[in-house]
Amino acid sequence: MFHRAKVIHKRTKDPEKLRNLSEAIETFENWLNEYRSRSRAKENLGYLPLDVVEAFQPLADRYGVKTEVPGVHISFLKAYREADGDLKKLRVLKVNPDDEKSITWDVHRNKYLKPLVDRVKGDDAPRLYLTEEKVRGVPTKEHVELVMWGYSPEVTKLKKTIPQVKDLEGKDLNGLLPSE
């Protein structure tokens, strides 16, 4: 889009259109420079595949992770299923379908997820995985909370824990998981 505007700018003869294009190019160039200088691309919270999120639903239930948000009629997981795990569909799927001005699930997810991500980053951040012997490597409650919103800072490691999490289903762990 940016480069196309530059090409059109070279071909345009109308002084008013040239002025408008120059202004638009300058605005966009400033935004791009700011985006790059602050590494804003790292702020994008990538989506986990739907099957990965679903694999951690039993663990979320066991931890007592709340997946509903007050004022919203369905959870993110239900909306993600409704979108067939397609993040592009989440960008048009409204949180409240009856309200034309309602935000989309993508915007709602990022807004809700930002404070959770900030909480697990930093110096005093909680662990992402349990360290007790019987459950070593299992994601912590805080990590599962992120997963239920379709995000993890360690996607590859998280995917490797799926078989271990499935093995824990139905087992009595005598209080080894924080909510038990």
Model pLDDT for residues 69-87, shown as the tens digit of each residue: 777 888 899 999 999 999 8
pLDDT, average across residues 151-160: 92
pLDDT over 50 at 180, yes or no: no
Residue type, 134: K
Higher-pLDDT residue of 171, 101: 101
Average pLDDT over residues 153-173: 85
pTM: 0.73
Please tell me the chain's helix, strand, coil percentages from 3-state DSSP, rounded to the nearest 5: 55, 0, 40
Residue carrying structure tokens 């008013």: 16
49 CB contacts (<8 Å, ≥6 apart)? 85
How confident is the model over 2-55, as pLDDT tens digits? 778 788 888 888 889 889 888 988 898 888 888 777 765 556 788 999 999 999
What CATH number should be reported for the domain whose range is 50-168? 1.20.120.1250
Section 151-173 average pLDDT:
86
